[in-house]
Amino acid sequence: MAVLHINPTRMELTQIKRRLITAKRGHKLLKDKRDELVRQFMLLVRENLDLRKQMEGELGFALKDFALARAVMEPGALRQALLYPARQASIKVGRRNILSVRVPEFKVDEGSLGETVLPYGMAETSAQLDNAIATMARALPRLIALAEKEKTVSLLADEIQKTRRRVNALEYVMIPQFEETIRYITMKLEENERGALTRLMKVKDMLAERAT
């Protein structure tokens, strides 16, 4: 491990020791943050997986009903039936913090959904189309919740990678470099002290010889 390019003085030694203490403290805090992020991530992944399986099942039934409706209805009648939306959904978009990670928060106003009203008359449509639309209407709030969880999981995964890189940089680069620099400066200072002591002893011997 290469040492820092600094002058081997006691002042520099004191500063490097302070930086080492700060780096070790930051390393511990980042490790704790990384571990908690991973824990939150795993919880959200499990919730996301359960919700996704549920939604895939419901949407699978809706798609089957759409396929049956498409088979028994005229294409023009199907397009005309789905031309206008049955209702509007009001969604409040906010943010919340998970360990300094700003993640989205979606809240569906259930009151804005109201009852499922079909946007067409039933004379030229099939029961399968009615079932598909009703299934999709019921699934909308959970689809919004799934979108929120998946975006949150993605943001947490990115933050975990960033935190892991910082932890590794401190653990395998900065902290060893500071420790190696401290050893280098300490050896240099001890070497200088031994040299100074040797010179002092020689001067003392020379003075003693002159005195005799």
> Which residues, other chains included, contact 77 with Cβ-Cβ below 8 Å and sequence gap of 6+?
124, 125
For residue 156, name the pLDDT band (cuts at 50, 70, 90). very high
106: which strand partners? Answer: 93
Domain 10-203: which CATH number of 3.30.360.10, 3.40.50.300, 3.40.50.2300, 1.10.287.3240: 1.10.287.3240
Region 131-137 average pLDDT: 82
Region 166-172 average pLDDT: 95
Mean pLDDT, the chain, as a whole number?
Answer: 85
Whether the per-residue pLDDT at 1 is higher than 70: the answer is no
What sign has the CA pseudo-torsion 77, 80, 86, 90? positive
Are the C-beta atoms of residues 24 and 175 closer than 8 Å to each other? yes
Lowest mean pLDDT among 29-38, 63-72, 111-120: 111-120
Model pLDDT, residue 71? 83
For residue 81, name the pLDDT band (cuts at 50, 70, 90). confident
Q: Which residue has the higher pLDDT, 155 or 88?
A: 155
Model pLDDT, residue 19? 94
d(CA 189, CA 177): 18
Model pLDDT, residue 15? 93
For residue 130, name the pLDDT band (cuts at 50, 70, 90). confident
8-41 pLDDT, tens digit each = 888 988 999 999 999 999 999 999 999 999 999 9
Whether the per-residue pLDDT at 155 is higher than 60: the answer is yes
176-212 pLDDT, tens digit each = 999 999 999 999 888 888 877 777 787 776 777 777 6
102: which strand partners? Answer: 97
For residue 118, name the pLDDT band (cuts at 50, 70, 90). low
